[in-house]
Chain A
Amino acid sequence: MNARKNYLLSFLAIVVSAVVFLVPFGFILLTAVKDRQQASLLDFSWPHQFQFVQNFLAVVRARDYMLIIAFINSTILTVASVAGMVVLAAMTAFVLQRKQSRWNGLIHGLVLAGLIVPPAVVPTIWVLQRLGLFRTMPGLILVEIAFGLSFCVLLFRAFIATIPRELDEAAVIDGAGPLRLFFRVVFPLLRSVVVTVVVVQSVVVFNDFTNPLYFLPGDQNATVQLTLYNFSSQFTTQYNLLFMNILLITIPPLLMFLFFNRQIVAGMTSGAIKG
């Protein structure tokens, strides 16, 4: 390849990407602001009249402000479970990386199992029910933490390996106990990887559909992904509202993408180079 830019290929790539990737998003955007009649044509056309505010209010008001409740639920779920994952996984990864013991092999195996093994759905419900946590937000939060731990442990462990042990030793000589060593000395150094984990896992948990479907059923508990699913049957003839809903729940990931693109990329490609 020569250093000169290949304009023909670039032009082709831009046109194809626009058709394949931008048109579907344009379709969402355009249909979301159409009136009901025009939206039902399902075509890719300029709206006759813009009903952004009207459609927005209709979606928000639908089913007793279900979308607002869902956004609150999703926020609680995302914040709590991601916070839990970060603390629990960082503690695990720290000891796992630093301490040599014969359990390490087993723990590594369990971490990988967490990535590969599909969760057993009904037995999890059974356990939650025994604990009195089925159909509760804390139950779902714990489930998300359990399923997300493995990924976080791997990222943290790789990063902690780059922090020199001499630092730990210095802190210990200065009289720091295990807790203080971890939370005061090591954890603050993990900042960049914590940002990565938080961003990636927030998007994953926010977009999660399956776990809320199984473990937190019920309209008053709906998360945003479930509203979409609930609405899709209700809105079969009101495509403008369905697409307004899709548009609204796409905004949080879009913001994440705009502000944290670099961290997302770092987190999601962490396996690519080492293999």
Chain B
Amino acid sequence: MTATSVRASVKRAAPAAPAAGRRRSPYSSWFYLPAAIVYGVLFAIPTFASFFFSLTRWSIFDWKFIGVDNFVTFFQEPALVKGLTNTLIYAVVTSGLKVVLGMLLGILLTSQIVARGYLRSVVFFPVLVSTIGVGLTFTVLMNPEKGLINDALGTLGIAGPGWLTDPKFALLSVALVDVWKGVGLATLIYIAGIVSIPAEYLEAARVDGASAWEVFRRIILPLARPATVTVILLSLIGGLRSFDLIWAMTRGGPGFTSDVIASVIYKQYQAGFYGLSTAGNVVLFVVVTAIVLPLSRFLNRKEVEL
């Protein structure tokens, strides 16, 4: 890293021979070209086009400019507003739980316990399994009458709720399954973060007679901060964009009580309201960037000194 920056400053200090340098440079800019074309045509252009088409009534073949009508609809229709608030709830709940559980599991799985390898594998494996498969499996397990979860709660004398059929619980149930599937990744990131903490710090703390809580509070928590930042940002981005799990489990139901922006986009697309669907995309874009960019600035600014 230092070498690179030194070289950079050397280059900046000697701008006299850029032409000769460029001709001889073995790093040709056209290496960017293939990636730039694919990225530009299929990602950048659609993103920019979405700002325009969100202002139209659109049927792929022709469009009619209608100003901000789509956005007005989006913020007036109760079903669509619900999608917006649900997206925020879902993202905050999943990412909060992933941080807390991921950190606890990370500490547990770096401590001296038996069968650590087994535990790490079993916690991580769901990350790799198909989201739709997990969603359908838990839909069955959460069946209110016959499902395994309510059966188990029943034997304990608790009447389980209609996890996915009760409008109060549907979104949170899906969020819990999302955490079940994603906590392994958070755990793994925390394990990597905790393992990279120099052992001397922990030893020094032990010599000074720090309690387990103090070790956690004063050493692990601040020094695993990059891991926390990564987990928060990754799970927020994922949570805000989340579609497949919700679609597999509730399709936004019952009614539209568990709809999120991404499922609204799909529903409007299916119904042929391409302009409205694209407006949903723009809203999602604004929500994601307005939350993630400032947050990542804020979180990355406060570095701890080692």
Chain A residues within 8 Å of B, Cβ to Cβ: 1-7, 9-11, 13-14, 17, 20-24, 27-28, 31, 41-44, 84, 87-89, 91-92, 94-96, 98-101, 107, 110, 114-129, 131, 142-143, 145-147, 149, 153, 161, 165, 168, 171-172, 176-178, 181-182, 203, 207, 209-210, 213-214, 224-225, 228-229, 232, 239, 242-243, 246, 249-250, 253-254, 256-257, 261, 264-265, 268-269, 271-275
Contacts and interface: CB of A to CB of B under 8 A. Distances in A.
Contacts of A232: 136, 248
Contacts of B151: 43-44
Contact of A127 (B46, B119, B180, B191): B46
A168 B182 CA distance: 41
A213 B269 CA distance: 12
Contact of B126 (A4, A21, A115, A243): A21
Nearest to A248: B133
Contacts of A207: 128-131
B25 interface: yes
B57 interface: no
A195 to B, nearest CB: 16
Interface residues of B, number: 102
A153 B244 CA distance: 26
A261 B28 CA distance: 36
Most A-side CB within 10 Å, residue of B1, B12, B50, B262: B50
Contact of A14 (B49, B115, B128, B131): B115
B225 interface: yes
Contacts of A256: 128
Contacts of A27: 137, 140-141, 148
Interface of B: 1, 3-4, 7-8, 11-12, 25-29, 31-32, 34-36, 38-39, 41-47, 49-50, 53, 58, 60, 108, 111-115, 118-119, 121-134, 136-138, 140-141, 143, 146-148, 151, 180, 185, 188-193, 196, 212, 225-227, 229-230, 234, 237, 240-241, 243-244, 247-248, 262, 265-266, 269, 274, 277-278, 281-282, 284-285, 288-289, 292-293, 300
A269 B189 contact: yes
A40 to B, nearest CB: 9
A99 B18 CA distance: 12
The 10 closest A-B pairs by CB, nearest first: A275-B226, A120-B50, A123-B46, A146-B42, A10-B114, A269-B192, A10-B113, A123-B49, A99-B27, A88-B35
A264 to B, nearest CB: 7
Contacts of A246: 130, 133, 136-137
Contacts of B118: 14
13 contacts: A5-B113, A10-B114, A20-B180, A24-B137, A27-B140, A42-B147, A95-B31, A207-B130, A243-B137, A253-B128, A257-B121, A273-B226, A274-B226
Given A4-B112, A239-B140, A253-B128, 7 more contacts: A1-B111, A9-B111, A10-B113, A13-B113, A44-B148, A116-B289, A121-B278
Contacts of A116: 237, 288-289, 292-293
Contact of B274 (A2, A21, A122): A122
A209 B148 contact: no
Most B-side CB within 10 Å, residue of A118, A126, A172, A177: A118
A193 B220 CA distance: 29
Nearest to A258: B121
Contact of B119 (A13, A125, A142): A13
B46 A120 contact: yes
Contacts of B26: 168, 171-172, 176-178, 181
Given A99-B25, A250-B130, A268-B188, A120 B47 contact: yes
A271 to B, nearest CB: 5
Given A99-B27, A209-B131, A272-B230, A119 B111 contact: no
Given A122-B278, A146-B43, A246-B130, A268 B185 contact: yes
A91 B292 contact: no
A17 B119 contact: yes
A163 to B, nearest CB: 12
A174 to B, nearest CB: 11
Contacts of A274: 226
Contacts of A145: 38
A256 B118 CA distance: 17
A228 B248 CA distance: 10
